[in-house]
Chain A
């Protein structure tokens, strides 16, 4: 009876059900020995929504599938309610946000964590939805946006994936999970002449873990077999990001750019005074670093888009102190290794790189060609990718793609080099509905 009532209420509403989706089975094979790369991928994606007046209910879900062994997982990537009053928009629920003017690499866009399984996906495919509340006000030439995320989410990393070279063997234990989970973002965008200019601030927690404390066990002189032992313990730094982004036009060129300054520091650890181990040493790490992207794009007479992008990151100030947690006595340990815990994920590849890409269609839009290369500036290493997608029938596409990495044989830490064995070809089918 209740179900019948619900259906009759829904059918009585003058709303509209919308859906669209994509079926995308594919296989990836290493270029080195043709062996299959066995990682999960989104076999089926579905956008389902219901619109009623100024209200939208939107969902985005996927079936994540792994070929060997055959297993699938349902992933509700987004589910949120959106309200569109005259003055703007309000959204609440699990959602993905997108900030920034540049394509693909956005240092100012830190609202959502990244899913490293999908690092090479375009658009929001590489992000994870988070529960948040957001509002955007449109006032004259201004757009003012605020985002509140009450529940913290970290990046998703592949652990124990032998087919993913930058994967860690086991998921590290996080000794200090985030206590203050509330994250806030604010952005204002305006149009000045023929340019758009945006300013943003975000305060939150790093998406990647970093060293917080270590337990130190000195060598026991009474036991000849004993060795000095250091056990690192991880937590998440708190980070504030100030960002600036713009888009402008010069002649036939479109110029997009963005830059962000990150101030990150070790969080205040809330330890139980009575349970602090005597051999615990705490790191207070404070770093100021910046990331930037500068992009120029041009559309040729034949409709191909050519885009050049310079991206870089730079540590401008780094201070650290090691101290004994119980006594607060400063200790002279070595400098900790710094890895950015926010910003564009491609910063893991290089401090400065140049990206050149081109895309366009031929044969009445049936054949789509894409090519891109990313070159490490100042050091060895590059990535090359190319793809061709042909549509034999409306809504069907067959895609053949390749991605190749080349690193520095003399530098085992070169990320491009670590990725060499990930060089692959991909053959896939797309069906859009």
Chain B
């Protein structure tokens, strides 16, 4: 019986189109909210590093996120609020303690680097399923893991800074394990590697390694003290809370 079920599953997986795989990934259960301390290590082509430490809270699959910067010390207190909207541009605001101002920043330039890292604001934003066209490529094995290989091309409505992404998706748990992103000219721009942890009923990303192959610069982001479904109040995601670093 188990064998029949497995065969059925295998055959249905084999027959899945790109959009169907994207939908499966999109519909994967995600935590209602997430809390973590983020360590971001930037390494340049000469091997010199710089470390940023941040505290993050998010809900709705990262559609609302607030980040407080803890290190380096001269950035301590700076905070970032992102609210994604379906029918209009996202809202992004930064609290700059030295200016005592919440500064609204443009979300149109999605390709701009986030705090000097190899991650752009676009990389931190969830992709709207309807704003991409998908094509399934031949399956591949990545570190002994059977993966779907999915090509995603942004439509003009996505206002993306990329021309396409190729993602390697673990067939077993639908986690993205690797992704290549290409610039507007079609040249490889970034290589991204992901690691996940199982926490409660979810697979949660606990590490991203991004290499900008054009700049020979890498960023490694590690999510520590990860907690999910903590019951974050949605009212947290407003400007006034940028001004207060929450208790560790």
Contacts and interface: CB of A to CB of B under 8 A. Distances in A.
B32 to A, nearest CB: 20
A303 B119 CA distance: 13
Contacts of A16: 247-248
Contacts of A432: 72-74, 76
B77 A123 contact: no
Contact of B99 (A122, A249, A361): A122
A194 interface: yes
Contacts of A303: 112-113, 116
A430 interface: yes
B74 A395 contact: yes
B108 A124 contact: no
Contacts of A125: 98
Contacts of B101: 98, 100
B35 to A, nearest CB: 16
B42 interface: yes
B108 A56 contact: no
B96 interface: yes
Interface residues of B, number: 43
A301 to B, nearest CB: 8
A146 B67 CA distance: 28
A252 B239 contact: no
Given A254-B106, A366-B50, A51 B244 contact: yes
B198 interface: no
A363 B104 CA distance: 27
Contacts of B104: 196, 247
A143 B102 CA distance: 12
Contact of B116 (A123, A247, A365, A397): A365
A397 to B, nearest CB: 7
B48 interface: yes
Contacts of A103: 99
B4 interface: no
Contacts of B116: 303, 361, 364-365
B240 A394 contact: no
B108 A251 contact: yes
Contact of B240 (A20, A88, A196, A252): A88
A117 interface: no
Contacts of B112: 299, 303
A138 B72 contact: no
A211 to B, nearest CB: 34
Contact of A193 (B88, B108, B109): B88
A225 interface: no
Contacts of A361: 116
B5 interface: no
A365 B219 CA distance: 13
B42 to A, nearest CB: 6
B244 A56 contact: yes
Contact of A138 (B71, B89, B111, B239): B239
Interface string A362-382: 011110000000000000000
B245 A18 contact: yes
Nearest to B88: A194
Given A22-B74, A366-B50, A432-B73, A249 B89 contact: yes
A6 interface: no
A430 B74 CA distance: 9
Given A124-B98, A303-B116, A366-B48, A84 B76 contact: no
A86 interface: yes
B73 A395 contact: yes
B73 A124 contact: no
B199 to A, nearest CB: 26
B240 A138 contact: yes
A16 B91 CA distance: 30
A123 B240 contact: no
A98 B99 contact: yes
Contact of A363 (B44, B107, B109, B244): B44
A96 B29 CA distance: 46
A256 B191 CA distance: 36
B72 A84 contact: no
A249 B74 contact: no
A274 interface: no
A272 to B, nearest CB: 42
Contact of B217 (A123, A247, A364): A364
B76 A394 contact: no
Given A97-B100, A247-B104, A20 B76 contact: yes
Nearest to B43: A364
B99 A89 contact: no
A84 B74 contact: no
Given A122-B98, A363-B48, 13 more contacts: A84-B240, A100-B101, A124-B100, A191-B91, A249-B106, A299-B112, A361-B116, A364-B42, A364-B49, A364-B217, A394-B71, A432-B72, A432-B74
Interface of A: 16, 18, 20, 22, 47, 51, 56, 84, 86, 88-89, 96-98, 100, 103, 122-125, 136, 138, 143, 191, 193-194, 196, 247, 249, 251-252, 254, 299, 301, 303, 361, 363-366, 394-395, 397, 430, 432-433
Q: Which 8 A-B pairs have the closest CB atoms?
A: A432-B73, A98-B100, A123-B99, A364-B44, A123-B98, A432-B74, A365-B116, A395-B73
Interface of B: 42-44, 48-51, 71-74, 76-77, 88-89, 91, 96-101, 104-109, 111-113, 116, 217, 235, 238-241, 243-245, 247-248
25 contacts: A16-B247, A18-B245, A20-B76, A22-B74, A47-B77, A51-B244, A89-B240, A97-B100, A100-B101, A123-B96, A123-B100, A143-B239, A252-B106, A252-B108, A252-B109, A299-B106, A299-B112, A364-B42, A365-B116, A394-B50, A394-B71, A394-B72, A395-B72, A395-B73, A430-B74
